[in-house]
Structure 1
Amino acid sequence: MPHDAEREAPIASEESPLLGDAVESNTADDVPVAQELPTAKLVAVLLSVWIGVFLSSLDTTVISTLLAPISSEFNSFASLSWITTAYLIAQAALQPLFGKLTDIYGRRGGLLACNTLFAVGTLLCGFARDEYGMIAGRILAGAGGGGMTAISSIVATDLVPLRRRGVVQGGGNLAYGTGAALGGLYGGIVNDTIGWRWAFILQIPIIVVSSIFVFLYVNIPIKKIEGPRHKRVDYLGALNLVMFLMLFLLALNTGGTLVPWTHPLVLIALSLSVVFLAGFIYTEKFIAKEPVIPLKSLQDRTVLASCLTMLFMVMSVYCVYFFIPIYSMLRGASATAAGVNLMPFSVGISIGSLGAGLIMNRTGRYYRLGLASMFVFNLGTGLFCTFTLHTPRWPQMLYLLFFGMGYGATLTVGLLSLIAAVKHSEQATTTSSSYLFRATGGTIGAAVGSAVFQTSLRTHLLKQLGDGEEAGEVIRRVLQDFGEVAKLVQPWKGEVTDAYMSALRMVFTVGFALGTLGLLTIAAMRENKLHKTLDRR
């Protein structure tokens, strides 16, 4: 398959045309454009990168069912949250860099480097001797996993015309959603049968297969520039961006959870992040010849509107999503049943993403579709605010389906509107910018949701139970451990349950407000043409 009889050109250089074919035309900015591939070859390329997307997503959620056995082996419960946080921070901080780096060194080289990082990090986790080795492995795996996810989207944009790009995005979202849905289940089964370490080790053969496929099939032309490639890298801008994101996300992930918001770690990290952000903006605007993120693209109304929509919508998702299982368990569901109750959300993402892609492929338009997608998303989020302790199950499933459909459709519309608004030469870096806003939105949303829930819960507990000595002990117990709610006797249990429900409703209300901001920003987009050809002619 990688070598057709009539196409025997070597695949060793990404500066050569794609799979040996001549580059038939260039865009107006003189960047080589890959020729459209036959369906079989296109599927092979996309599957090779989607394997990485699946593993990256799986590795994000697999840790949820492995934290307890890992803490038992290392006798270090206090460092558990860092195992999760390290992966997310590394993933978010490095994703924005991959677009520009793959413009310079090629998509295949970038994917192979990310696959290697992911494999090394995952192996470190599997053979870690202590929590520090585990955290180091999660950092490397997060960096590689974030790169695989971002570059896969860029590769799809390179090979598929914008008119059909949304359909392909549905496939990528399906791979991501499947990995996220199976991660916890996979980790639990492997831990219960052969031990938690194998949950990491068994991923290695799959990433090796993915790397082989990437080497054979991903061969996309890049622009030839005279001189050493390393001189094109914006090192100062990259350093400032990574430091800003790492410090900012570190503060958000630790403040209010691991340490108080007034802790010196949080305050210093936030202050330094502002310094590095200012340094990044100055570098990109006045110093860098090839910026990591072209700030001038954010001056385009559609690009800015799309990025802000991603920011607010993902903030809303992460603010709300993790509290849906708490709502289910508050009503008496087991942890497993609460996880199963989330399935309509995953199904909705696939339906919404693929459906939006098919509509854009047929109509060539996205503006009204984007408004409708955000409306459906907000419909689901707003209906969460109507939840009570006696809401039947079928409305819960329906609201989650709306929530997922709107989310998946808006992700697809937002990405395509953003790419359609920029030149071909900027589509990789602009795609990475969207992942920057998404990753940052997720971290902010999770922090906001947690802060709102904890503050509201404490307020309602004091209101419901009063400030007596026995009430104070009950409040302390239920704030530290959700499992204590089920152990309470009446009337304490009823009052605590009502307080929890009030706090959850406040979180859902904040999520709805964030989604409303996303609806306002998506309305500011302009309609750009979705071309039927890769050269956009």
Structure 2
Amino acid sequence: MGIPSDNLVHVKSRALSEETPLLRETSPSECEEDIVGPEPSSAELFLVISSVYFGIFLGALDGTIIATLSASISTHFSSLTLLSWLVSAYLIANAASQPLLGRLTDIFTRQKGLIACNILFAIGNLVSGLATSEGMMIFGRVIAGLGGGGLMAIPNFIASDLVPLRKRGLIHGISNICFSTGAGLGSFLGGWINDVWGWRWAFLIQVPLTMISCIMVYLTVKIPAKKSSLSALARVDFLGAATLIVSIVLLLFGLNSAGNILPWNHPFIPISIALSLIILMVFIYVEIYIASEPIIPIKLLAIRTVASACLTTWFSTMVMYMVLFYLPIFFQVKGLSATSSGIRIMPQFFGSTFTSVGCGIIINATGQYKRLLVIILSLFFVTTGFLTTLSLDGNEWFIYIYEFILGATFSSLLTITLIATISAVSHDHRAVVTSAVYAFRSTGATIGVTIGSAVYQNVLLSGLHERFDGIPGSATEIEKIRNSLDEMFNLPPGWDVGVKAAFDVALRSVFRVAFLCAILAIVTGLFIRQHVLHARLVRHDVNE
């Protein structure tokens, strides 16, 4: 049952004409304040938030299902190099769609945008579940990623439409609970489904759940479009999105191929990375000089808090995705099943659940986030450092403590950086900067997994050759080990200790790279400024 239209919060906005500049020059003292209208009742808000946050639950469920099953799926196709592309294909598509969603849902309404994203997500999972080749699997992940980006981002646009900024921390905390619940359940459910029915059903079971999400959104989300004319579609920055994605894909091809598919001295490696940087420069040019409404407005990134928060999100997401995708491999190398590995990464999501709302409550009560940010970043940094001490022969219970703290601090970082970003811009630009934050999350996750894969594959290959070169048939056996974790249990006599040591060094190397990213996160986070968090649904033009 939908919310009656006469009781809805109709979010007013100034229509952007062809002459409307993206940023209006204002002095620090100048302030624009539009009272948006009465806030929705608690019952109305509950209905809308429950409906849209179910999509966040599904997106998180999918993410950890893939994290848990990536090794099993890669083994099925006899290609552990597929592991990073399972993630990258999805997240590249996320990065392609999320920056555009703020503009597109302004035009076509949040409801239609979210329904379309649910449908794409369902189609992608159906294709992946039925995949008969690596290419078909990756194609399915791309389609799912286009939709999954909306499942994660559009609910936050809706929250911005309906909830005052000061209460956003609390609402975002609830979204993190939905995310953590889905992620925690996915880590167990993915492994269990794989062990009982096979990995295909982990994708197929998501299709009917996504259809339920579609129906919920259709019945409850009635926020009107902010722009009534389709002429505004011409102002959407498709060129910027295209150049950004081409740049990312070229970078990933170079990093994934280096020392893995091709030797480091192969000309393709420097050429792909150089082309990536050139097209990145083209992207920046498009954003500054061509795009009417840039997907990542460079002028907004010139605001210190926006740039710092985006970079902090970027580096911290790299950390979490390296941990999320390589801890299950760590446990499976120890000899655990997919189900057991999934259960053992659940402490991350328990930590996230317990702190999400708490962080929001603190921000709502105090109107402050900077001091809390410094504490959270410090804990995040120290805990990531402890991960570099992990060993396949070490005590396992320490890992659960590290996971819990890492999940708790990461989820708090997501809340704080999003609140800081949207508090630094006017209401008209909040959907855009929210899209930008999610673009940084997606690209951070993609680059994090890709860097982790490059480090893991290269260090593992080097370690295996160092230990077993010269033994008859070693080249064939090493290739089998790299492409299938199942080969760990079918090793030639005398190989067990050396292979385990090579995996140990490779996994620890990934966690060391994650620690370097955590250092960068804390450095960039310290540049975030405290802004006023308004307690009413108002819009302000702010300038730093």
**Superposition TM-score, scaled by structure 2 size:** 0.83
Contact 2:173 2:356 in 1 (8 A): yes
Return the offset for 1:120: 3.2
Q: Does 1:516 align with 2:519?
A: yes
Q: 1:83 to 1:485 in 2, by over 3 A?
A: closer
Q: Does 1:166 align with 2:155?
A: no
Q: Does 1:57 align with 2:46?
A: no
Return the offset for 1:168: 1.6
Contact 2:9 2:223 in 1 (8 A): no
2:149 is aligned to 146
Residue of 300, 303, 306 corresponding to 1:303: 306
Residue of 110, 114, 118 corresponding to 1:111: 114
2:365 is aligned to 362
Q: Does 1:374 align with 2:373?
A: no
1:2 is aligned to 2
Contact 1:415 1:434 in 2 (8 A): yes
The 5 A counterparts of 1:357-506 are: 357-460=360-463, 465=467, 468-469=470-471, 478-485=481-488, 492-506=495-509
The 5 A counterparts of 1:264-283 are: 269-283=272-286
CA distance in 2, matches of 1:71, 1:512: 28
Return the offset for 1:299: 0.4
- Of stretches 130-139 and 375-384 in structure 1, the one that deviates more from structure 2 is 130-139
Return the offset for 1:298: 0.3
1:14 is aligned to none
Return the offset for 1:243: 3.2
Contact 2:378 2:522 in 1 (8 A): yes
Q: 1:53 to 1:288 in 2, by over 3 A?
A: same
Q: Does 1:19 align with 2:22?
A: no
Return the offset for 1:381: 0.9
The 5 A counterparts of 1:319-330 are: 319-330=322-333
Return the offset for 1:260: 5.1
Deviations 1:306-338 (Å, cap 9, x if unpaired)? 111111111222233333234334444444323
Contact 2:104 2:233 in 1 (8 A): no
**Superposition TM-score, scaled by structure 1 size:** 0.84
Supply the AA of the counterpart residue of 2:471. E
Q: 1:209 to 1:33 in 2, by over 3 A?
A: farther
CA distance in 2, matches of 1:284, 1:258: 34
Return the offset for 1:91: 2.1
Q: 1:449 to 1:459 in 2, by over 3 A?
A: same
Supply the AA of the counterpart residue of 2:149. G
Contact 1:105 1:229 in 2 (8 A): no
Contact 2:107 2:229 in 1 (8 A): no
CA distance in 2, matches of 1:305, 1:236: 25
CA distance in 2, matches of 1:126, 1:327: 25
Supply the AA of the counterpart residue of 1:164. K
* Residue ranges of structure 1 left out of the alignment (5+ in a row): 10-17
Q: 1:42 to 1:204 in 2, by over 3 A?
A: same
Supply the AA of the counterpart residue of 2:309. S
Q: 1:235 to 1:437 in 2, by over 3 A?
A: closer
State the SS of the aligned residue for 2:530.
Answer: coil
1:287 is aligned to 290
Supply the AA of the counterpart residue of 1:33. V
2:220 is aligned to 217
- Of stretches 263-272 and 368-377 in structure 1, the one that deviates more from structure 2 is 263-272
CA distance in 2, matches of 1:391, 1:89: 36
CA distance in 2, matches of 1:509, 1:196: 30
Residue of 166, 175, 179 corresponding to 1:176: 179
CA distance in 1, matches of 2:451, 2:291: 34
Return the offset for 1:264: 6.7
Return the offset for 1:347: 1.0
The 5 A counterparts of 1:195-206 are: 199-206=202-209
- Of stretches 133-142 and 109-118 in structure 1, the one that deviates more from structure 2 is 133-142
Supply the AA of the counterpart residue of 1:2. G
1:13 is aligned to none
Deviations 1:329-360 (Å, cap 9, x if unpaired)? 44444443232221111111222322211211
2:315 is aligned to 312
Return the offset for 1:535: 0.7
State the SS of the aligned residue for 2:8.
Answer: helix
Return the offset for 1:41: 1.2
CA distance in 1, matches of 2:489, 2:81: 27
CA distance in 2, matches of 1:341, 1:469: 36
Return the offset for 1:497: 3.3
Q: Does 1:240 align with 2:243?
A: yes
Contact 1:150 1:432 in 2 (8 A): yes
Aligned CA RMSD, in angstroms, stands at 3.6
Return the offset for 1:525: 0.9
Deviations 1:221-262 (Å, cap 9, x if unpaired)? 444476733233234333333433444445445555555556
Corresponding pairs, count:
523
Q: 1:375 to 1:490 in 2, by over 3 A?
A: farther
- Of stretches 165-174 and 386-395 in structure 1, the one that deviates more from structure 2 is 386-395
Return the offset for 1:180: 2.9
Return the offset for 1:149: 0.9
Return the offset for 1:95: 1.7
Contact 1:32 1:222 in 2 (8 A): no
CA distance in 1, matches of 2:238, 2:331: 48
CA distance in 2, matches of 1:192, 1:48: 31
CA distance in 1, matches of 2:487, 2:513: 26
State the SS of the aligned residue for 1:322.
Answer: helix
Supply the AA of the counterpart residue of 2:179. Y
Q: 1:221 to 1:250 in 2, by over 3 A?
A: farther
Q: Determine which structure has greater relative contact order: mean sequence separation of CA pairs < 8 Å that are 6+ residues apart, divided by chain length.
A: 2
Deviations 1:75-98 (Å, cap 9, x if unpaired)? 886996555543332223222211
- Of stretches 108-117 and 366-375 in structure 1, the one that deviates more from structure 2 is 108-117
Supply the AA of the counterpart residue of 1:19. L
CA distance in 1, matches of 2:78, 2:480: 22
Return the offset for 1:423: 1.0
Contact 1:352 1:407 in 2 (8 A): no
